[in-house]
């Protein structure tokens, strides 16, 4: 039987700002590896091309970018809009040089990046009219109705919990029977994501869990993955060794609650990583929860290869802590920083996320939190709040946003600062960023 050809595409994006913060289309690559196990031929075009010559030692790099005109919905926003990654023309050229696929799989990582996803689907439809185009990922999962309206050219739109529908569609369309149809939550069993399709692997993300033990009111993870599903430490170690044998030295943890029940999970896993016969570098852009960091854990992080630690604080204001889910408080944060400093991390290695622009939040709250983090001996990092459908905070406040965030996902972009109000204007946000820049100099 002829092997079915599948093309995976990670679309380019349109945004006001973007930087490859160890970002990677992990879900798409997992789906690719599942199809490969079913005998499909799998190819990849990752449109999010970075400038290799500017790659930092830690693996991050800026994307290629080009100025573009804003869509009508954003015409009043006084910021430059850009496309990040390759151009539509380059994508068309790549398509014209390749054998025609039977199936094109497109992912979408942020809801407000759907214009890039839509464009890539349209270009693929024109280049490969005979192919079936399937789109999945965050946008269809969090904005199901909007995705149905905006991604009409796709033959199938799947949410993250609809892998069964995805398998059935392939079986019916190609009149075949797939031998391997895992559920995505069988993390120990599914094959490693197909990173081998990249020529250059500056880092590899390692997914250690799906879901989250916490229920922060601004976060959609509990909606997408109601249960926390963990991967066994043995399977994580095996994957690290697999990629290390292929030249990878930098690993990035994708995990929303890595330290939850740390005695049973993170500590044994970190110990095993620390005992590997080679050195590696680990980064955690998703942040770990300060409430779980103790002296032993801080040392284990150092020994496992954490070159820096990103920590979620959100705010030092108890009212904000309570409103967002009460995951961490100032007392446990201070203790965590002491342990990390004692273990050898310097101020510059400790990045603390502060959430700015929550509904009704006052700008002074951010200023106080920045000062508090600085005094505690760490680097504050302002993360602008992104309103996300199906979260408690979104449902409670969406009518108070200065854009119709429920009607068009473009308005869910944190760069729009959708919850600006008299108590926290955009000017104040600019002031805070400048203030932070000055004190960190
Ligand atoms: C890792 C992660 C990151 C990483 C990298 C993201 C990446 N992949 O490039 C980093 C740290 C960089 C990041 C940053 C941010 N993130 Co983030 N991130 C995540 C996280 C925790 C996991 C994503 C992931 O890879 N999951 C694992 C894979 C296996 O799952 P998946 O991608 O969902 O794919 C599944 C399916 O959808 C399916 N699938 C995917 N594609 C396709 C395609 C086809 C054809 C098919 C059939 C199936 C399919 O396969 C998988 C199987 O179920 C999610 C939350 C979550 N739990 O999902 C948030 C999440 C995506 N991030 C979010 C946010 C808000 C952000 C930030 C804006 C935070 C901030 N304020 O700074 C930034 C900005 C990013 C940017 N502008 O560059 C939001 C999304 C918001 C939105 N409006 O879309 C999420 C949902 C978290 C939340 N708070 O609710 N993030």
- What are the pLDDT digits (tens) for 30-45? 999 999 999 999 999 9
Q: Is residue 96 part of a domain?
A: yes
Report the CATH number that the domain containing residue 73 is assigned in CATH: 3.40.50.2300
331 occurs within a structural domain: yes
Greatest extent of the chain over all pairs of C-alpha atoms, in Å = 66
**Cβ atoms of 315 and 324 closer than 8 Å:** yes
pLDDT of residue 288: 94
Question: Who's near 405: CB < 8 A, 6+ residues apart?
Answer: 387, 394, 398, 411, 412, 418
Same domain, 58 and 138: yes
pLDDT at residue 326 above 80? Answer: no
Q: Is 411 in the pocket of ligand 1 (CB under 6 A)?
A: no
CB of 10 within 6 A of ligand 1: the answer is: no
Q: Is residue 199 part of a domain?
A: no
Quick one: 361 and 433 in the same domain?
Answer: yes
Please state the rounded mean pLDDT for residues 367-371: 94
- For the four alpha carbons of 149, 151, 155 and 161, in that order, the dihedral sign comes to negative
Kindly state whether residues 222 and 301 are assigned to the same domain. yes
Among 174, 195, 221, give the residue marking a domain's end.
174
Cα separation, 210 vs 221, in Å, equals: 8
Distance 138 CA to ligand 1 centre (A): 6
Q: 35-39, 42-46, 171-175, 332-336: which has the minimum mean pLDDT?
A: 332-336
Mean of all residue pLDDT scores within the chain: 95
Pick from 387, 391, 312, 292: which is nearest to 354 by CA?
A: 312
Q: What is the CA radius of gyration of the chain?
A: 22
5 DSSP β-pair partners: 41
According to the model, what pLDDT value does residue 1 have?
61
The three-class DSSP label of residue 72 is helix
How many whole angstroms from 384 Cα to the centroid of ligand 1? 16
Let me know whether 357 and 238 are in one domain: yes
Same domain membership, residue 213 and residue 170: no
Q: Does residue 322 carry a pLDDT above 80?
A: no
What are residue 312's DSSP bridge partners? 289, 353
240 plus 382 within the same structural domain: yes
For the CA of 385, the nearest atom of ligand 1: 71
Residues 371 and 311 in one domain: yes
Q: pLDDT tens, 383-393?
A: 999 999 999 99
Q: Does residue 75 lie in a domain region?
A: yes
**Do 213 and 169 share a domain, yes or no?**
no
> Residue 60's pLDDT band (boundaries 50, 70, 90)?
very high
Q: What is the domain-level CATH number for residue 328?
A: 3.20.20.70
Q: How many structural domains compose the chain?
A: 2
pLDDT for residue 208 is more than 80: yes
Mean pLDDT of 424-432: 97
- The owner of tokens 């407000």 is 112
Beta-bridge partners for 14: 83
For residue 188, being part of any structural domain is answered with: no
Residue 405 in contact with ligand 1 by CB distance below 6 A: no
| Residue of 276, 230, 238 whose CA lies nearest to 255 | 230
Q: Report if residue 135 sits inside a domain.
A: yes
For residue 289, give its domain range.
209-440
Question: What atom of ligand 1 comes closest to residue 17's alpha carbon?
Answer: 77
Looking at the fold, whether 14 and 86 belong to one and the same domain comes out as yes
What is the C-alpha to C-alpha distance for residues 402 and 422, in angstroms, rounded to an integer?
12
Mean pLDDT computed over 209-228? 94
CA of 99 to the centre of ligand 1 (A): 30
Interval 3-26 mean pLDDT: 96
- Nearest residue (by CA) to ligand 1, atom 72, is 383
- Considering the domain architecture, whether residues 218 and 121 belong to the same structural domain is answered as no
- Ligand 1 centroid to residue 53 C-alpha, Å: 26
């Amino acid at each position: 039987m002829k092997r079915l050809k599948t093309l995976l595409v990670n679309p380019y994006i349109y945004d006001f700002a973007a930087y490859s913060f160890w970002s990677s289309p992990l879900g798409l690559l997992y789906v690719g590896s599942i199809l490969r196990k079913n005998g499909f031929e799998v190819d990849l075009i990752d449109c999010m091309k970075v400038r290799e010559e500017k790659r930092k030692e830690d693996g991050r790099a800026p994307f290629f970018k080009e100025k573009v005109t804003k869509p009508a919905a954003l015409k009043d926003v006084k910021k430059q809009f850009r496309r990040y990654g390759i151009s539509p023309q380059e994508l068309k050229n790549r398509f014209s040089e390749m054998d025609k696929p039977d199936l094109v799989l497109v992912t979408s990582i942020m809801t407000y990046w759907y214009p890039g996803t839509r464009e890539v689907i349209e270009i693929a439809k024109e280049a490969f009219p005979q192919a079936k185009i399937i789109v999945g990922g965050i946008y269809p999962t969090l904005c199901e109705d909007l995705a149905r309206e905006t991604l009409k050219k796709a033959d199938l739109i799947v949410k993250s919990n609809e892998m069964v529908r995805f398998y059935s569609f392939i079986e019916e369309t190609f009149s075949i029977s797939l031998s391997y149809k895992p559920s995505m939550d069988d993390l120990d069993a599914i094959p490693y994501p197909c990173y081998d399709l990249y020529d250059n692997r500056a880092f590899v993300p390692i997914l250690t869990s799906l879901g989250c033990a916490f229920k922060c009111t601004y976060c959609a993870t509990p909606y997408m993955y109601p249960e926390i599903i963990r991967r066994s430490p043995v399977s994580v170690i095996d994957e690290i060794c697999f990629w290390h044998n292929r030249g990878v030295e930098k690993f990035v943890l994708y995990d929303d609650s890595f330290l939850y029940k740390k005695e049973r999970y993170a500590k044994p896993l970190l110990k095993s990583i620390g005992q590997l016969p080679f050195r590696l570098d680990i980064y955690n852009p998703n942040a770990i929860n300060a409430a779980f960091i103790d002296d032993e854990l801080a040392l284990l992080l150092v020994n496992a290869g954490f070159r820096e630690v990103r920590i979620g604080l959100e705010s030092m204001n108890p009212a904000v802590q309570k409103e967002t889910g009460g995951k961490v408080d100032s007392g446990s944060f201070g203790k965590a920083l002491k342990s990390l400093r004692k273990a050898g991390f310097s101020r510059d290695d400790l990045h603390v996320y502060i959430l700015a622009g929550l509904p009704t939040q006052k700008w002074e709250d951010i200023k106080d939190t920045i000062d508090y983090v600085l005094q505690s001996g760490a680097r504050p990092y302002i993360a602008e709040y992104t309103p996300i459908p199906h979260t408690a905070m979104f449902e409670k406040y969406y009518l108070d946003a200065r854009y119709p965030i429920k009607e068009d996902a473009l308005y869910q972009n944190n760069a729009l600062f959708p919850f600006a109000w008299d108590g926290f204007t955009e000017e104040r946000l600019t002031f805070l960023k400048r203030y932070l820049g000055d004190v960190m100099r």
